[in-house]
Amino acid sequence: MLALSAQQPFSHKLHAPLKTKCSSCHSGADKAERAAFPKIEQCRVCHTAADWKAPAVPTKRVYRLRDFVVFSHARHVAEARVECGRCHGDVAKADTVTLEVEHTMKSCMDCHRERKATNECNVCHELGQ
């Protein structure tokens, strides 16, 4: 059993030795349009009320895309086999998640070019917005 206090921020580094998939905690990370933050019930699978009394899981988003950008985790992870670290950095080495990878049009287009994916505007943008 892992012991945490409510004052400690969530540490991916602390949990990395468990070798769980990102989607184990972030539902949808591999099969949906969006990845969700973990629910407290998921933490309680390993942490009992006696060893961890945090009221909630942190939900501060570090990575955000502009409203007119369409991004699907399912298309990138399940279909194109893009590793989570490509867009989120190596969070397994981090005690707190910080913005390691800038999400700009240039970085996305460079990745698409490198992976021979399309750079057609309507693939990532809702035209007319």
pLDDT at residue number 57:
63
Quickly tell me which residue has 């892992």 as its tokens. 2
CA dist list (Å): 23 to 42, 46, 65: 11, 16, 20
Summarised one tens digit per residue, pLDDT across range 56-81 is: 566 678 888 888 898 999 999 988 89
Task: Give the C-alpha separation, 59 to 97, whole Å.
Answer: 11
Cite the beta strand spans of the chain per DSSP E. none
pLDDT at residue number 105:
93
pLDDT at residue number 17:
93
Contacting residues for 9 by C-beta, under 8 A, at least 6 apart: 58, 95, 96
Task: Give the C-alpha separation, 43 to 25, whole Å.
Answer: 8
Tell which phi-psi region holds residue 97, choosing left (phi > 0), alpha (psi between -120 and 50) or beta. beta
Domains of the chain: which residue ranges? 12-124
- Per residue of the chain (129 residues), give pLDDT as tens: 344 444 456 788 988 999 988 888 888 888 888 888 888 788 878 877 666 665 556 667 888 888 889 899 999 998 889 999 999 999 899 888 888 888 999 999 999 999 999 999 998 998 765
Q: In the chain, what is the greatest distance between 2 CA atoms, to the nearest angstrom?
A: 53
Predicted TM-score (pTM) of this structure: 0.75
